[in-house]
Amino acid sequence: MTPAPKKGFDLIALTSQALQYVRHTRLMAAMGCLGILAGLVYYVYGTPIYQAKSLVYVRGYGSPLRTSEVPETVQAAGMNRHITQEFTSRRNIIEAARRMGLVGKSATWEDLIQVIPSVQASIVDASHIEVTVLAKSPQVVRDFCSELVSEFRLQQEQTWAQFRDEALERYTKELQALDAKANDGLRSLSEFEREGKMTESTIEQSRLNDLPRDMVVTKEVLRRMVDVKARLDSLPRLPSGDLALPDLLEELSLLSAFEKEREVKVGDLLRKPMPGGSSPIATAGTPKISTEVIVQPGMVETLASWQTLEKERRILEDRQKESAKQYLPGHAIMRDFAAQLEANERGLRSELAILRQRFDLEKEHFEGKLKQLESRIPEYHAINEKLSQSSQTYSDMEKNKAIWDRAREQLASKVAVIAFSEDRDWVEMRFKGHTSLRDDIPVSPNKMKLLSISLLLAVGGAIGVPTLVNLLNSSASTLQQLEESTGLKGIGIVPHTDKEILEDVCRAPSIGAKVPNYLLENFRLVRSHIVLHPGRTGSTHVIMVTSARPSEGKTSQAANLAWAFQSMGSRTLLIDCDLRRGRIHGFTKVSNELGMTHLLQGHCTIEDAIQKTPSPLLDVIPRGPITIGTTDLLVQSVFTQFLDTLRGQYDQIVLDTPPVLGLSETSSLQRCVDGVVFVVRAEKTSRKDVVDAVTLLRKAGAHLFGIVLNDLDLSKVNNYYNYYYYSASYYEDLENPEDDPPPGKSPLRSAPALT
């Protein structure tokens, strides 16, 4: 895939963009003056601010015992940030201003900044800081820094004295209380350990650790047994109550599969019926007696003996079938086979009875076991809760003791620091003088800075506001905008023209015949675009002219387009299909007594409706008197029939139709025509309206020849630059001096030049 070619510098596009600002010349000048005026007003009425930069010497003395928890003991020699922040704190600044008499005793920070807007300190090196003071008075900027140093030293002395006395008394009492707390914690741990509660709870918990797992296993076994029993109970039974042989084998399979899932092994406990009676199946009313026995190796093999019987039965049945081919049913051999099969079935039923009885007893066993396990759940939770409480209590007691021990050690260190450091001078601070003093010429307002800001505001307003106006302008100004918005091509423009000239459709044939006339050439250019781009039928016989909304010039465009067709020798018919506000009869100076409204209602013939104009090749069907209901006839077959009749009589038919948005006729009329010319009024019609209208026409299947930009004011520089070749001055260059008519008789002068 080849990369897209890079766009070079386009001087024409840049010039076109720059000309967009020409129409806002007055606005740009006003915004520029407003920016300069704002700077001038601020300079005249702004309060002057003076500045002083001073150097302060700082030396810190350390303590034998230093700790960050006692701020007064932190060494100041390193010019740490704490000293700088404390020096320029609000409290220190307000107190210094009170000593100078700048504010009263009840003044707040908001009151202070009215006199001293800013006080800032920055570190210069290990022993110096620079203080910058901005004030509204020259005397304040000269003296405030030295007063600030004095106030800081005074506050430091007062703070240390108060801290020393209060801290020693408070810390001593707290130290005694912490000693008592630490001793109490040690005794509590010893008593708790002697009681043995932790050991007892741990032993009891280990005894019940397997209880939840046993419950889950037991519940799962019972769930499986319930499913198996439901399946067994659903098997159909014979009238005698016994199972049929296939169902008997199915029940044996289910019971065996269940016992296989349980994986009965040597050494497991199983419930088995007590020996007694000739039948292994208990009779009704006989109590169920069972006992738990340990599974021995020989017993595991008997659990699946029914499968051996079933295998023997299949062998007997196969032999019986083979013998049936040779012997009659009453033969001794056949009777022997029947007896063996009957004995085999009795064995299977006996095995089923044993498995079913063992299954029922096991179910009762697990149900009882589940109840027993559930009854011990409260005991299990109680033991766990007791152990958790004991563990938490012991842990809290250990943490509590550790907290008191650590607090006691920290407090003892603080007392030692204060006791050893009470006579120390922590910070030495001296005012050394001004490094920069502006008490005669204010730093604000600064002339050069204010001038720069004013110019920046002026230029920003002069460019930004027109740019914003251009961005917010949604009207259609150029054909390029319309082509990008709609995807249609622009087929021409119509410059802003006097109404009398524009509506003079029946103009003399000599106008524009010899020397090109800029207005008429524009209509001929639109005509050429239409002829060169046939519609969906392959012809440009019937042309519809419409717009997005009213008052956009579609009627004048339709009338002059009809003139352009007849001027090239085509027999042309202009039809006014705007039955609400049609004005074609005013353009062509014909009678409006008979027209489309009468024709659609059948009150006149086509010949009666067609009106002749002074131009021999141009006929007109006017609107006719406004009649209710005639607009609906436009979209019916009656209008299509009239149009088909007229196609054979004229070379070109031009329809002036209503606007697209808000009315239904235009979208329906497009089916009868070969194409649509869409008219847009320059700098009036919204691009959104154009896009919406074109979208509606496309949805209806219309073929659009293109867009005509109407009423374009070429007196504006940006429009003249883009469309110079549509102007009168362009066509003046085409005049042939040898063929010039006498003065005052020029065809070009017959249509006044546009301004």
pLDDT one-digit tens code per residue, 92-140: 888 888 888 888 888 888 888 888 888 988 888 878 889 999 888 888 8
For the segment 490-531, what is each residue's pLDDT rounded down to a tens digit?
888 888 888 887 777 777 665 655 545 777 888 888 998 888
Separation of alpha carbons 28 and 11, rounded Å: 23
Q: Which of 337-351, 385-399, 733-747 has the lowest mean pLDDT?
A: 733-747
Classify residue 8 by its DSSP letter: -
Q: What is the pLDDT of residues 623-650, one digit of tens each?
A: 888 887 677 788 788 888 888 889 889 9
Q: What is the DSSP letter of 734?
A: T
- Residue 446 in this model has a pLDDT that exceeds 50: yes
Write out pLDDT tens, residues 167-211. 777 777 777 777 777 777 777 767 766 665 566 667 767 777 777
Q: What is the pLDDT of residues 71-99, one digit of tens each?
A: 544 444 444 567 778 788 888 888 888 88
Centre a 10 Å sphere on the Cβ of residue 601 and count the other Cβ atoms it contains: 14
Q: Which residue has the tokens 């009869």?
A: 585
Radius of gyration over every alpha carbon of the chain, rounded to an integer in angstroms: 56
Tokens of 1: 């895939």
Report d(CA 529, CA 548) in Å as an integer. 21
The number of residues in the chain equals 755
Q: Is a pLDDT exceeding 80 seen at residue 596?
A: yes
The pLDDT assigned to 368 comes to 80
| 438 against 18, higher pLDDT | 438
Show contacts of 286-294: CB within 8 Å, 24+ apart. Answer: 288/357, 288/360, 288/361, 290/361, 293/269, 294/267, 294/268, 294/269
Q: Would you state the pLDDT for residue 558? A: 92
pLDDT of residue 544: 93
Choice between 226 and 263, residue whose per-residue pLDDT is larger: 226
Q: What percent of the chain lies above the pLDDT cut of 70?
A: 75
* Residue 547 confidence (pLDDT): 92
Domains defined for the chain, CATH in brackets? 23-46+445-472 (no CATH), 211-278+289-375 (no CATH), 483-501+519-734 (3.40.50.300)
Would you state the pLDDT for residue 579? 86
Nearest Cα neighbor of 499 from 566, 563, 553 is 553
Q: What is the pLDDT of residue 571?
A: 93
Average pLDDT over residues 722-739: 52
Greater pLDDT, 275 or 663: 663
Give the pLDDT of residue 733.
53
pLDDT of residue 76: 41
Q: Name which of 10-24, 404-418, 664-678, 690-704 the model is least confident about.
A: 10-24
Question: In the Cβ-directed half-sphere of 81, how many Cα atoms lie within 13 Å?
Answer: 0
pLDDT band at 694 (very low <50, low <70, confident <90, very high): very high
The confidence band for 8, taking pLDDT boundaries of 50, 70 and 90, is low
Confidence (pLDDT) at 542: 92
Instruction: Decide if 718 contacts 19 (C-beta within 8 A).
Output: yes
What's residue 81's pLDDT? 66
For the stretch 36-56, pLDDT in tens is: 787 777 767 667 888 899 998
pTM of this structure: 0.47
Separation of alpha carbons 141 and 444, rounded Å:
14
| All residues at 6 or more sequence positions from 467 whose CB lies less than 8 Å from its CB, including other chains | none
Most distant CA pair in the chain, distance: 150
Looking from the CA of 462 toward its CB, the CA atoms found within 13 Å total 17
Residue 125: beta bridge partners? 128
Residue with structure tokens 């032993």?
A: 203
Please count the other Cβ atoms lying within 10 Å of the Cβ belonging to residue 149.
Answer: 21
pLDDT in tens, 238-280: 777 677 777 777 777 777 777 766 655 555 555 544 444 333 3
